[in-house]
């Protein structure tokens, strides 16, 4: 399984309700990633708390060195739905 697929599977397990979830290999080397997650699990949480949940979901690949660099973009569901009529 490719690195992006592994990370995406871990994130989908942690955020099964995510309306948006993507993992991008930023350099093609398989160790620099951009992850984007939109989830109701982030509602009411600070940005630091949201990112901590992502770090927790990716704890194993972070610990074993599979991830050298990680950029995170999170969005609570309320932010997405507030502008919808």
> Is the pTM above the cut of 0.75?
yes
Residue 27 confidence class, pLDDT cut points 50, 70, 90: very high
Question: What is the pLDDT averaged over residues 39-66?
Answer: 96
Question: Who contacts 55 (Cβ-Cβ below 8 Å, separation ≥6)?
Answer: 62, 70, 72
pLDDT digits (tens, 9 = 90+) for 58-80: 999 999 999 999 999 999 987 65
The per-residue pLDDT for 78 is: 79
Contact at 8 Å (CB) between 3 and 25?
Answer: yes
Cα end-to-end span (Å), the chain:
41
Residue 28 in this model has a pLDDT that exceeds 80: yes
User: What domains does the chain contain, in order, with CATH numbers?
Assistant: 3-82 (3.30.300.90)
């Amino acid at each position: 399984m490719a690195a992006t697929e592994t990370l995406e599977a871990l994130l989908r397990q942690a955020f099964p309700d995510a309306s948006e979830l993507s993992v991008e290999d930023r350099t093609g080397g398989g160790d620099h990633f951009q992850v984007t997650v939109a989830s109701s699990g982030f509602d009411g949480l600070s940005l630091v708390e949201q990112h901590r949940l992502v770090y927790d979901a990716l704890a194993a690949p972070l610990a074993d060195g599979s991830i050298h660099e990680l950029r995170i973009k999170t969005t609570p569901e309320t932010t997405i739905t507030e502008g919808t009529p």
